[in-house]
Copies of this chain bind each other. A is one copy, B any other.
Amino acid sequence: MTYRIAIFGSSGYAGGELIRLVDGHPDFEIAYLGAHTAAGRTLGSVHPHLRGGERMLESNDPAVAPSVDLAFLALPHGASAEPAMALLDQGAKVVDLGSDFRLDTPERYADAYGVRHPYPEELGRWVYGLPELHREAIATTDRVASPGCYPTSAILPLAPLMAGMLIESTGIVVDSMSGVSGAGRGVSAVLQFGAVDESAKAYKVLAHRHRPEMERALDDVAVDLVRLVFTPHLVPMQRGILTTIYARASEGVTGDDIGAALDAAYRDEPFVAIVDGSPETRWVVGSNRALISVHFEDRSGTVVLISAIDNLIKGASGQAVQAANIMLGLAETTGLPQEGWMP
């Protein structure tokens, strides 16, 4: 059977990738494309790289959308809670690519976002949609909060080590660099070519909201409270996140222990691989894969983990489709690229 899919927030980068993935998915068909300021425009005028350019973008209001089996929400922070609840009421399954339902308690949400959550009772009900950690829960829910791009790149390497108590849960440094598409498609002076090209910079130092998201997700698997410091950087490329993580090995743990734990965790995963050397973002751009390398410094007992993902695919739209496949009982890899493009 073919599932009817709605995409809200079609005009952004994640929205465009969702359309491309759903167009190419053998079991999905697009039943509705919603947008905010681009409502009323043709798809081709917004995403000239996609086919079917004559398709219209409609409103982001679920009330005017037809009934669908599953809806993806690729909306700005704070904008998805309301349509998500409406879509659930209409009987659709929902995968929210935004951050509205990623934290698990009203307190944590208020702490991270500085406002009260409009549906506090919902926070505990949404499943954090990282299939490699929560496959079973995803399979049985109708509401998935799809992880952020940086958290995906940090949680995948750290979670098995946390779960195995192989590293200390505090004093962790997560240092990431991202391509510019991670900042979204909004127009701003700091994202002009003249401001970005040939330059590197940190931003939101000690203040990025993906840090609480990482801690929340790792607390789910760790025995002790997780504390980390996170610095995101912007580098002049379109796509890709490279994350370098520093953690202290627990007493008596060796580099081999670390490597064995990650190998065991991901040996059978279709989209995660442990690599020799260290990964480059070009190896994953265009695919739904995450690559991870493991390094160990004996003299200080420091574990260095390096991960690479495509922020728009495994870090956003691909991961959302992966969760949707699970929710709908399809093979998890259906319609998802396992090969990227290079150069």
Interface flags, A267-298, vs B, CB<8A=1, else 0: 00000000000111111111100000101110
Give the complex CA separation of A239 and B185 in angstroms: 22
A137 within 8 Å of B (CB atoms): no
Q: Among the listed B171, B187, B235, which residue makes an inter-chain contact with A177, where contact means beta carbons less than 8 Å apart?
A: B235
Known interface pairs A51-B339, A233-B244, A302-B229. Does A197 touch B238 (Cβ–Cβ under 8 Å)?
A: yes
In the complex, the count of this chain's copies comes to 4
Residue of A194, A281, A338 with highest tally of chain B CB at under 10 A: A194
For A284, A297, A306, A343, which residue has the most chain B Cβ atoms within 10 angstroms?
A343
The total of chain A residues at the interface (CB under 8 A) is: 77
- Counting chain B CB atoms within 10 Å of each CB, the highest count among A233, A293, A302 belongs to A233
Flag if A304 contacts B229 (CB, 8 Å): yes
Cβ–Cβ contact A304 & B200, under 8 A = no
Q: Which residues of B contact A206 (CB under 8 A)?
A: 295-297, 304
Interface presence of A331 (CB below 8 A): no
- Bound CA span A295–B203, Å: 12
Residue picked from A51, A235, A300, A341, most chain B C-beta under 10 Å: A341
Instruction: Please report which residues of chain A, range 199-217, place their CB below 8 angstroms from some CB of chain B when the two chains form the complex.
Output: 199-203, 205-206
Complex contact B200–A242 (CB within 8 A): yes
Find chain B residues with CB under 8 A from A281 CB. 198-201
**Across-interface contacts of A293 in B (CB, < 8 A):** 205
Q: Which residues of chain A in 285-343 are interfacial with respect to chain B, using CB atoms and an 8 Å cutoff?
A: 285-287, 293, 295-297, 299-300, 302, 304, 306, 308, 338-343
- Bound Cα distance from A77 to B92, whole angstroms: 53
Q: Does A97 contact B (CB under 8 A)?
A: no
A20 contacts the other chain (CB 8 A): yes
Q: In the complex, what distance in Å separates the CA atom of A278 from the CA atom of B205?
A: 8
Q: B304 to A343, Cβ gap below 8 A?
A: no
Contacting residues, chain B, for A197 (C-beta < 8 A)? 180, 193, 196-197, 236-238, 343
Docked Cα-Cα span, A49 to B287, in Å, equals 8
Complexed CA–CA distance, A305 and B302 (Å)? 20
A2 within 8 A of B: no
- CB nearest to A282 among chain B residues: B199
Chain B minimum-CB-distance residue to A26? B26
Closest to A310 in B: B341
Chain A residues near B (Cβ < 8 Å): 13, 16-17, 20, 23-24, 47-51, 170-171, 173, 175, 177, 179-181, 185, 187-189, 191-203, 205-206, 227, 229, 231, 233, 235-240, 242, 244, 246, 278-287, 293, 295-297, 299-300, 302, 304, 306, 308, 338-343
Please name the 7 residue pairs, one residue from A and one from B, whose CB atoms are nearest each other, closest first: A199-B282, A201-B280, A193-B196, A49-B340, A194-B343, A49-B342, A238-B343
